[in-house]
Structure 1
Amino acid sequence: MERLRVAVFSDSAFPILNGVSVSVDALVREMRNRGHSVHLYSPRFPGHQDSDPNTYRFRSVVLPFWPGYPLAIPPYYRQLQKFRRREYDVIHTHTPFILGMVGLRWAESEEIPIVGTYHTLYDRYAHYIKFSPRRYMRYRIAKHTSFYFNRVDRVITPTEASLRWLRRHSVETATDVIPTASPRPPILERAENRYALNIPPEARVLLYVGRLAEEKNLETLLDAAALAFKVDPALRLHLVGDGPHREALVSRVRRLGIGDRVRFVGFVSREEVDRHYATADLFFFASISETQGLAVQEAMLHGLPAVAVAGGGVNESIEDGVDGYLVHNDPRELASAALQVLHDDASHARMSEAASRNARAYGIPEMAERVEKTYRMAIEARMGREQRVSLR
């Protein structure tokens, strides 16, 4: 097959650590492994030096209501000059916002096919925009998202749940459901890493990995942990990640009187995240704003059963009763399901094996192969339209 030259645009890229940046990094690496030339366009991150010469950074600012997430700012013409020299075959955007709009504008001006990935239920993040009513902002974000994905040549989205959102909001562009795959984790020795992380051998660790943010429904998670702690004195809850909701969550932990058994680990490196997965006993998740729930998949790659609140794309990551449990958004149900798994060794072992097996059934090579097919369909569709126009 002909080698492709691909321009990837994303508002989130390493060293930012979230589902989008992990997905972008995995895809870029695997597409290069397949022989394609891939260039990443992303905002400059303060103090970060890229080791990849094919990463282009835009000037950026960090706003007080969105700390840790620099936003690209104009002028963009210097990067446009570099962009034009590359003569790309296809553009792939991972955001409908600032750099997604830049990618769309350049695709239109340079007549390059464009694919857009719909990663996130963006309207669920309207509370970060403080100067406007939340309901109005949810409406405006949904309208913009619909506008954007109706302008690209083809759409990728990770789950049937996110596809339903697009169709419900009148996105008519041809769409491919391609789940995001996670990198295979290193093999880590549990006892050794537990000792290094100061986790007692007898402790049972409930693990959450992700942003500490309002949309993650972490109050329900903490309330469930408090109920489970009353039943099992060996239980601990570790929250790996950071975010704007941390202070409110710390206050809630204090009010619940569970501070001795909850650890706010904070933001850690990718390697450290794997160590926390390797030392936990159960993945504990309450977010209902996920299009897929990549952290659930990562946990399962480490053999962790998951207990999660049902909703959105998480439903497609967990096979209820096989590799975990899906429950209603109720702390009592969440706590009961966690205790059910942890207090039955045979059930825990069976679910652990199923989690690892199911998560490994679909990997990054399979994901990249399907994305490449989407690129080629977008290119062929654009060529077909151009030929029809020329024949008129």
Structure 2
Amino acid sequence: MNIGIFTDTYFPQISGVAASIATLDKELTALGHNVYIFTSTDEAANKANEVGKVFRLPSFKSMFVPERRLAYSGVRTASQLVRKLQIDVVHTHTEFSMGCLGKYLAKKHKLPFIHTYHTMYEDYVHYVARGKLLTPYMVGKLTKWFCRGADLVIAPTEKVKKTLKRYGVVAQISVVPTGISLKQFKRTNQTTQKTNALREKLGFTVNDRIIVSIGRMAEEKNMQALVHAVKQSQAIKKPFQLVLVGDGPERKKLETLTHSLGVTDFVHFVGAVDWKQIQYYYQLSKVFVSASTTEAQGLTYIEAMASGCAVVAKADPSIESIVQHEETGFVFEKDEDLADVLQSIWANPDLLARIQENGNRHVKPLSAETFGRKLERVYFVQLRNQQYSERYERKQSSLFYRMRRSS
């Protein structure tokens, strides 16, 4: 099967969407399929490694999120590629430029159109004229419009599915959690050695109480709450060492905040990290923390659990199935509660060890392999529909072969 993935966000950009697509690409390729990425240009991309695999269309920086790019031309080129590569399924991962292109090409070439809704845009309207130009109501209307005509919409969680239903999306919606490479994040003797070297490089000792947070430094991620928690921890003379991995528009404000609070020696800005090396940053600590309530699924929480961390997260419906208080992780309700929660965790090493083990076990079903097989089955089911029956007949024998091999 030849799968065309359309996305505005792809490596070397660092995001959950890019990581999700890379995981899907790897697993589908392992199952014998051909995956082609249609995305926007990026000066940092390694073009030599992308030849014949990744097709980048001319783009410009987004006005509201400068690190993201929007394609502005290349429709004819993309259409020719879809025909030349004999694409069987179009799978979009954005509602913007490349998503609209994928939707158009699916209709033009009479291909199954599948869309994954990754982002809860209601939580991001402040980027557009501070929420005065684009409202949550308008987000719902635009989402409903984009999903119209989709053969299937994939939601990573029940929270996202309920949101799409509230918007009035009438297409079939299936919940398929994004999987992760459990092997990549597993703590081993080899990863421990590399993590110890990283700890030494960053100037930490084995006695430092390190907490790690990984993600885009943006207003909706609420990272200032973590910095304030570090300040509160100084009151009992047992401060945390906070490691912030990532970059974004709020970084300068966060750095200014650390100076004003007098915690520059305890807050460490690592910057963006290659996704292939990210596991060593998770494994710097026994504790991963996030104060965000805007996650569609919370991939960083899953990666942290797979890395052997206990996750401390702010209460939010999107993570209820992942982080259960004092069962698979720790949950706090208010920002001002975070420091006390962290102190209590470090004061109870037996509970911490139990939560680390429970969390690690809890995410085992969310493997990348399971994710890949589920999407493969989704594609074949859509090809089986009457309007795509001719393509399905050509691929049917391959499906039976896969099912026999996996049984």
Give TM-score, length-normalised by structure 2: 0.89
Distance 1:159 1:139, change over 3 A: same
Pick one of 245, 253, 259 that aligns with 1:254.
259
User: Which residue is 1:91 aligned to?
Assistant: 90
After TM superposition, the structure 1 = structure 2 runs for residues 48-59 of structure 1, keeping only pairs within 5 Å, are: 48-50=45-47, 51-52=49-50, 53-59=52-58
Amino acid corresponding to residue 132 of structure 2 in structure 1: R
Pick one of 335, 338, 341 that aligns with 2:342.
338
- Asked if 1:357 is matched to 2:361, the reply is yes
Amino acid corresponding to residue 203 of structure 2 in structure 1: N
User: Which residue is 2:404 aligned to?
Assistant: none
Matched residue SS, 2:66 = coil
Pick one of 178, 181, 198 that aligns with 1:183.
181
After TM superposition, the structure 1 = structure 2 runs for residues 118-267 of structure 1, keeping only pairs within 5 Å, are: 118-130=117-129, 133-134=131-132, 136-184=134-182, 185=184, 187=188, 188-189=191-192, 190-267=195-272
Distance in 2 (CA, whole Å) between partners of 1:371 and 1:80 is: 24
Distance in 1 (CA, whole Å) between partners of 2:239 and 2:310 is: 18
Give TM-score, length-normalised by structure 1: 0.92
Distance 1:204 1:243, change over 3 A: same
The count of aligned residue pairs is 381
Kept in 2, the 8 Å contact 1:118–1:155? The answer is yes
- Asked if 1:283 is matched to 2:278, the reply is no
Distance 1:177 1:133, change over 3 A: closer
Kept in 2, the 8 Å contact 1:207–1:237? The answer is yes
Matched residue SS, 1:259 = coil
Kept in 2, the 8 Å contact 1:284–1:307? The answer is yes
Amino acid corresponding to residue 151 of structure 2 in structure 1: D
Kept in 1, the 8 Å contact 2:211–2:289? The answer is yes
Matched residue SS, 1:46 = coil
Kept in 1, the 8 Å contact 2:61–2:69? The answer is yes
Distance 1:365 1:232, change over 3 A: farther
Shift of residue 225 of structure 1? Answer: 2.7
Distance in 2 (CA, whole Å) between partners of 1:192 and 1:343 is: 27
Deviates more, 1:231-240 or 1:8-17: 231-240
Amino acid corresponding to residue 174 of structure 1 in structure 2: Q
Q: Identity, % of aligned pairs?
A: 28
User: Which residue is 1:15 aligned to?
Assistant: 12
Shift of residue 382 of structure 1? Answer: 4.9
Distance in 1 (CA, whole Å) between partners of 2:131 and 2:196 is: 50
Shift of residue 161 of structure 1? Answer: 0.7
Kept in 2, the 8 Å contact 1:162–1:312? The answer is no
Deviates more, 1:39-48 or 1:373-382: 373-382
Distance 1:55 1:111, change over 3 A: same
Matched residue SS, 1:360 = coil
Shift of residue 64 of structure 1? Answer: 5.1
